[in-house]
Chain A
Amino acid sequence: DIQMTQSPSTLSTSVGDRVIITCRASQSISTWLAWYQQKPGKAPNLLIYKASSLESGVPSRFSGSGSGTEFTLTITSLQPDDFATYYCQHYHDYPYTFGQGTKLEI
């Protein structure tokens, strides 16, 4: 199975900050990577797919990059609504696996 490692696990941030979350795959997954945002008690919400494609309706301050084994999610000018937990997920082959999550804290 492909292992996904996210860093950091927790990030203390402030409104207006630029945030970068890193995700590393244990083997090459090309660009078969997605990013999700999850708020407490809610289902995950797709933000980015195919490593860098922005899902419809997602604000342009979210962006993704990377290929192979190294990926990043960048949030420019953090907004109050962005404080949540973020997960990466590969979909190169089954079993799809997720990173352990990155929690953004104020």
Chain B
Amino acid sequence: EVQLVESGGGLVQPGGSLRLSCAASGFNIRTAYMSWVRQAPGKGLEWVSVFYSDASTHYAESVKGRFIISRDNSKNMVSLQMNSLRVEDTAVYYCARDPVATAKIFDYWGQGTLVTVSS
């Protein structure tokens, strides 16, 4: 059974850093594209970043230069290092799987982890 479990959220001051992790089970993350998607309180969904199966990456303009996505194959985990955090980064952060080999997109999501940026 495919599962994604996020961790690492919490309260951080503006300008601070936080590292989120997404532990995958039931599949090998090297065979998928892994994305982070966030949702500000009471708002809609925003795609943030993707780690491709070939280890390349892509970011939304709103986080480019501040966030870094990475993958640990030995732990079957993807992470999001968030630096220079802003109040507007406050959101629930989800990791989601893009299975790639099919026409599907984001067929599995984690439960989400809340990041609050506030002084």
Contact = CB atoms under 8 A, between A and B. Distances in A.
Interface in A88-106: 89, 91, 94-101
Contacts of A97: 47
Contact of B106 (A42, A44, A50, A101): A44
B60 A44 contact: no
Interface residues on A, range: 20 to 34
Given A43-B110, A94-B50, A98-B44, A34 B105 contact: yes
A9 B112 CA distance: 24
Nearest to A31: B103
A55 interface: yes
B103 A50 contact: yes
Interface of A (DSSP majority class)? loop
A44 B109 contact: yes
A87 interface: yes
A91 B60 CA distance: 14
Contact of B45 (A49, A55, A87): A87
Contact of B46 (A46, A49, A98): A98
B105 A49 contact: yes
Contacts of B35: 96
B94 interface: yes
B111 interface: yes
B104 A55 contact: yes
Interface of A: 34, 36, 42-46, 49-50, 53, 55, 87, 89, 91, 94-101
